[in-house]
């Protein structure tokens, strides 16, 4: 119970930071102050908060779980590719969004799109698609809170209570503190989970008797030696994963966050240090995830390894239900928690548990972004602000935060998690496919609202199509199954982990087609007026 | 800079270490993982070069002096309200 008490204390600190931010605010009734912290964040708060916003529960729990089953490939697949693409997109797109926001007072990306392409309802369509892709994230955050608190307390804190507690704490500091509170909490959380990686690596390494022995043990077995290479993932899949980090800048909470910097210079530290933060967090998590395969003295990890072995040897002969049951047992998202429980002293396990909770609670920015988008892109745009005033707009934003939290909690109690895991998985692809919108708005004069609409509708339809395909066609137990081939070339394949199009992840065709549609449709329709273009593109 | 970033992107696809499970650095770190750790540090160095040599200072100039903060605090209002700023639009201005 000691680890759970440490986590409760941590939640108390987080709540206090949010309320402290509320007290520090001097313009509580102004939308720009509540939703953007008055565009006043300093360089380190900007760096840590943006990094923390990008790192969800997946960064700690999911990365080690993925590495547990797939090996060291996880780092190259998700961390080093993000270390290149995300800072680059902040440099190219984030700085320009910041400058336009400062110049014209934008608070959301849809406001910029509406102004840039001289449109209104098309902006509403973009808002709807962005919001639909963001909601699963918020639900999964509540689920993660319930699951993590249950695991840290050794099952003493029930799922419903853990989820409710985490949802209440997140809702409270977002409600009171707005962007300022969220940014400060994220900064505190990021420092905590960056320390977590190094401490966990040392403690577990000592507990396991050193990593050299564990690595040699993994190499000694044919079943685990491949975890130290990347042969479990195809090079094409590895390549296509580099499209996923494009989603980061297109996520509304990240685009909105770019508007909070006090000066453009504050992007500099973030652009340079982002890869270093990625290394500090992901390297220990991935390495420990792989090493967990040698933690033979942890019964629950042993059960996972045996389930994986059974799936590999007898998979094709098992029924679909049996395969699904085994697949769930192989899920390694809790291996890091199990390693901590086995090798860390209780008080340290509590502190490290708080580090994990910090990552799990990353849904705060998404909740705030959704509230910002609703109040700015719908409430204010359709006359609410004009009719009821700016204070009413901020109150509406706060009310929306309460409603979305209650909704997320109610859904999290009833729905199975794997549905939302899938939704989140395709939210990344969807946002990657929406990234051409930002590029076109900022860099291509000839882009039009109709091109933007075509691209947005394509994103929504393609995400839905892939989700339906995966729901209708069950995952194969053995090698991938070709569902559609032309002259022996596999066009559409159902793989054990998802879908492949010409051997690539769906995100690749989704993003390329999205960009092509934007180009073709824009070329066929009339561009915005010269007055608008002059304001965006200096001669 | 574009060429350096292009080379960095290609270097991410290190197929040459794809099946190298038995090569260990420091006796415990698989070479594929070590390579990507070094790659991540190299990325930070390239970002430093970009920030030093290709920073879009013209964007800051466009925004103006006021945007760089007043006595340590950002302005509370936009410097120049866009005539087409969506929040200021009337119902009859909208399309369809």
Asked whether the beta carbons of residue B41 and residue A30 sit closer than 8 angstroms, the reply is no
Answer whether residue A428 shows pLDDT above 90: no
DSSP H/E element including A481: strand A481-486
Contacts of A532 in chain B (CB under 8 A): 84
Task: Give, as one character, the DSSP assignment of residue A29.
Answer: T
Contacts of B60 in chain A (CB under 8 A): 99, 263-265
d(CA A368, CA A107): 12
Asked whether the beta carbons of residue B47 and residue A91 sit closer than 8 angstroms, the reply is yes
Of A334 and B36, which is predicted with more confidence? B36
Write down the pLDDT at residue A87.
95
Asked whether the beta carbons of residue B76 and residue A30 sit closer than 8 angstroms, the reply is yes
Yes or no: say if A423 and A499 are a contact pair by the CB < 8 Å rule: no
d(CA A318, CA A311): 9
Asked whether the beta carbons of residue A380 and residue B21 sit closer than 8 angstroms, the reply is no
Report the pLDDT averaged over residues A100-114: 90
Answer whether residue A66 shows pLDDT above 80: yes
Report the pLDDT averaged over residues A59-64: 77
Report the pLDDT averaged over residues A307-333: 76
Contacts of B73 in chain A (CB under 8 A): 38, 40, 262
Residues 6+ apart with CB under 8 A from A430: A129, A133, A247, A459, A460, A462, A463, A510
A370: Cα separation from own chain's centroid: 14
A28–chain B Cβ distance below 8 A for any pair: no
d(CA A338, CA A330): 14
Contacts of A211 in chain B (CB under 8 A): 28
Answer whether residue B70 shows pLDDT above 50: no
d(CA A67, CA A88): 26
Q: For A432-471, how does the pLDDT look when each residue is reduced to its tens digit (9 = 90+)?
A: 999 999 999 999 999 999 999 999 999 999 998 988 888 8
Contacts of B8 in chain A (CB under 8 A): 84
Longest dimension (CA), chain B: 71
Write down the pLDDT at residue A417.
58
| Helical segments of A415-506, H only | 417-443, 449-472
Yes or no: say if A7 and A357 are a contact pair by the CB < 8 Å rule: yes
Q: For A271-306, how does the pLDDT look when each residue is reduced to its tens digit (9 = 90+)?
A: 999 999 999 989 998 999 999 888 888 888 888 888
60-79 in chain B: CB under 8 A from chain A? 60, 62-63, 67-69, 73-79
Asked whether the beta carbons of residue A230 and residue B55 sit closer than 8 angstroms, the reply is no
- Note the pTM of the prediction, 2 decimals: 0.85
Helix axes of A121-152 and A109-116: crossing angle, nearest 10 degrees: 160
Write down the pLDDT at residue A313.
77
- Most A CBs within 10 Å, among B24, B81, B82, B92, to test the A interface: B82
Write down the pLDDT at residue A448.
94
Of A516 and A369, which is predicted with more confidence? A516
Considering only CB atoms, B69 lies closest to which of A104, A262, A271, namely A262
A536–chain B Cβ distance below 8 A for any pair: no
d(CA A537, CA A442): 8
Q: Which two tokens stand for residue A89?
A: 């997109």
A491–chain B Cβ distance below 8 A for any pair: no
Task: Give, as one character, the DSSP assignment of residue B89.
Answer: -
| CB-count burial class (<10 Å; 0-12, 13-18, 19+) for B76 | middle
What confidence tier does A431 reach under pLDDT thresholds 50, 70, 90? very high
Yes or no: say if A314 and A266 are a contact pair by the CB < 8 Å rule: no
Of A369 and A232, which is predicted with more confidence? A369
B21–chain A Cβ distance below 8 A for any pair: yes
d(CA A320, CA A300): 23
Write down the pLDDT at residue A85.
94
Task: Sort strands B24-25 and B29-30 into parallel, antiparallel or unpaired.
Answer: antiparallel
What confidence tier does B79 reach under pLDDT thresholds 50, 70, 90? very low
Q: Kindly report the nearest CA distance between residue A251 and chain B, in angstroms.
A: 21
Asked whether the beta carbons of residue B94 and residue A264 sit closer than 8 angstroms, the reply is no
d(CA A89, CA A93): 5
- Most A CBs within 10 Å, among B16, B26, B36, to test the A interface: B36
What confidence tier does B88 reach under pLDDT thresholds 50, 70, 90? very low
Which whole-number Å values give the CA distances from A502 to A110, A242, A316, A489, in the listed order?
33, 16, 24, 8
Q: For A157-211, how does the pLDDT look when each residue is reduced to its tens digit (9 = 90+)?
A: 888 888 888 888 888 888 887 888 888 888 888 888 788 778 888 888 888 888 8
- Tell me which residue has tokens 């990094």: A51
What does the DSSP assignment read for A387-407?
HH-HHHHHHHHHHHHHHHHHH
Counting Cα atoms < 13 Å in the Cβ hemisphere of A207 gives 22
Which residue in A188, A212, B47, A87 sits closest to A79, CA to CA?
Answer: A87
* Closest residue on chain A to B12 (Cα): A81
Write down the pLDDT at residue A539.
67
A274–chain B Cβ distance below 8 A for any pair: yes
B34–chain A Cβ distance below 8 A for any pair: no
B4–chain A Cβ distance below 8 A for any pair: no
Q: Kindly report the nearest CA distance between residue B71 and chain A, in angstroms.
A: 11
What confidence tier does B95 reach under pLDDT thresholds 50, 70, 90? very low
Which whole-number Å values give the CA distances from A215 to A67, A70, A218, A290, A294, in the listed order?
14, 15, 5, 9, 8
B33–chain A Cβ distance below 8 A for any pair: yes
* Closest residue on chain A to B77 (Cα): A105
Asked whether the beta carbons of residue A32 and residue B82 sit closer than 8 angstroms, the reply is no
Write down the pLDDT at residue A270.
92
Contacts of A215 in chain B (CB under 8 A): 24, 27-30
Yes or no: say if A107 and A258 are a contact pair by the CB < 8 Å rule: no
Q: What are phi and psi of A296, to 5 degrees?
A: -70, -15
Report the pLDDT averaged over residues A90-113: 91
Write down the pLDDT at residue A418.
59
Q: Kindly report the nearest CA distance between residue B16 and chain A, in angstroms.
A: 11
Asked whether the beta carbons of residue A215 and residue B30 sit closer than 8 angstroms, the reply is yes
Longest dimension (CA), chain A: 72
A312–chain B Cβ distance below 8 A for any pair: no
Asked whether the beta carbons of residue A271 and residue B47 sit closer than 8 angstroms, the reply is yes
Which whole-number Å values give the CA distances from A408 to A154, A170, A218, in the listed order?
25, 12, 41
Write down the pLDDT at residue A411.
84
Answer whether residue A367 shows pLDDT above 50: yes
Which residue in A515, A484, A517 sits closest to A501, CA to CA?
Answer: A484
Asked whether the beta carbons of residue A75 and residue B33 sit closer than 8 angstroms, the reply is yes
Angle at A502 between CA A223 and CA A476, to 5 degrees: 45
d(CA A86, CA A63): 18
Q: For all residues of chain B together, what is the average pLDDT?
A: 70
Write down the pLDDT at residue B21.
66
378-417 in chain A: CB under 8 A from chain B? 380-381, 383, 385
Which residue in B56, B25, B84 sits closest to A381, CA to CA?
Answer: B84
Write down the pLDDT at residue A385.
74
Which residue in A254, A173, A187, A251 sits closest to A46, CA to CA?
Answer: A187
Answer whether residue B19 shows pLDDT above 80: no
DSSP H/E element including B29: strand B29-30
Q: For all residues of chain A together, what is the average pLDDT?
A: 84
d(CA A47, CA A143): 27
């Amino acid at each position: 119970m000691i680890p759970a008490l440490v986590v409760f204390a941590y939640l108390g600190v987080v709540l206090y930071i949010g309320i402290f931010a509320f007290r520090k605010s001097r313009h509580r009734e102004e939308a720009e102050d509540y939703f953007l912290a008055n565009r006043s964040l300093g360089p380190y708060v900007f760096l840590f908060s943006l990094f923390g916003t990008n790192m969800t529960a997946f960064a700690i729990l999911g990365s080690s779980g993925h590495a547990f089953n797939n090996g060291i490939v996880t780092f190259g697949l998700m961390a080093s590719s993000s270390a290149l693409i995300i800072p680059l997109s902040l440099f190219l797109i984030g700085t320009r969004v910041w400058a336009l926001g400062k110049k014209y007072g934008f608070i959301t990306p849809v406001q910029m799109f509406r102004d840039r392409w001289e449109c209104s309802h098309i902006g509403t369509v973009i808002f709807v698609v962005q919001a639909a892709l963001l909601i699963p994230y918020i639900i999964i955050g509540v689920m993660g809170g319930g699951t993590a608190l249950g695991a840290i307390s050794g099952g003493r804190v029930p799922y419903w209570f853990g989820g409710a507690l985490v949802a209440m704490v997140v809702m409270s500091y977002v409600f009171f503190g707005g962007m300022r509170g969220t940014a400060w909490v994220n900064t505190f959380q990021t420092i905590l989970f960056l320390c977590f990686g190094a401490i966990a690596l040392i403690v577990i390494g000592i507990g396991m008797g050193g990593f050299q022995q564990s690595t040699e043990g993994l190499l000694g077995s044919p079943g685990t030696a491949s975890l130290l290479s990347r042969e479990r993932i195809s090079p094409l899949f590895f390549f296509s994963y580099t499209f996923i980090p494009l989603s980061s800048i297109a996520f509304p909470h990240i685009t909105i966050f770019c508007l909070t910097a006090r000066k453009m210079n504050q992007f500099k530290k973030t652009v340079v240090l982002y890869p270093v933060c990625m290394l500090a967090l992901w390297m220990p998590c991935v390495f420990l995830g792989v090493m967990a395969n040698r933690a033979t003295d942890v019964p629950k990890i042993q059960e996972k390894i045996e389930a994986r072995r059974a799936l590999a040897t007898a998979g094709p002969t098992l029924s679909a239900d049996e395969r699904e049951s085994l697949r769930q047992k192989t899920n390694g998202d809790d291996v890091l928690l199990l390693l901590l429980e086995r090798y860390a002293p209780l008080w340290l396990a509590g502190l490290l548990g708080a580090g994990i909770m910090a990552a799990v609670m990353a849904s705060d920015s998404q909740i705030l972004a959704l509230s910002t988008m609703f109040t700015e892109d719908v409430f204010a745009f359709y006359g609410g602000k004009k009719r009821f005033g700016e204070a009413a707009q901020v109150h509406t934003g706060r009310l929306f935060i309460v409603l979305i939290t209650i909704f997320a909690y109610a859904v999290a109690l009833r729905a199975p998690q794997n549905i939302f895991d899938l939704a989140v998985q395709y939210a990344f692809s969807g946002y990657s496919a929406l990234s051409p919108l930002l590029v076109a708005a900022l860099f291509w004069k000839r882009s039009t609202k109709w091109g933007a609409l075509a691209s947005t509708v394509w994103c929504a339809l393609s995400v839905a199509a892939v989700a339906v395909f995966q729901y209708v066609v069950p995952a194969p137990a053995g090698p991938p199954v070709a569902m559609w081939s032309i002259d022996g070339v596999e066009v559409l394949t159902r793989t054990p982990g998802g879908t492949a199009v010409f051997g690539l992840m769906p995100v690749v065709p989704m993003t390329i087609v999205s960009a092509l549609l934007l180009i073709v449709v824009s070329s066929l329709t009339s561009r915005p007026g010269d007055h608008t273009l002059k304001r965006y593109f200096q001669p | 800079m574009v060429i350096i970033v292009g080379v960095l992107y290609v270097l991410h696809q290190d197929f040459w270490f794809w099946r190298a499970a038995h090569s260990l650095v420091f006796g415990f770190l698989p070479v594929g993982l070590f390579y990507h750790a070094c790659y991540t540090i190299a990325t930070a160095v390239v970002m430093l070069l970009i920030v030093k040599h290709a920073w879009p200072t013209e964007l800051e100039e466009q925004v103006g002096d006021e945007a760089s903060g007043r006595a340590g605090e950002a302005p509370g209002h936009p410097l120049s309200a866009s005539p087409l700023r969506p929040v200021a639009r009337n119902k009859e201005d909208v399309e369809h």
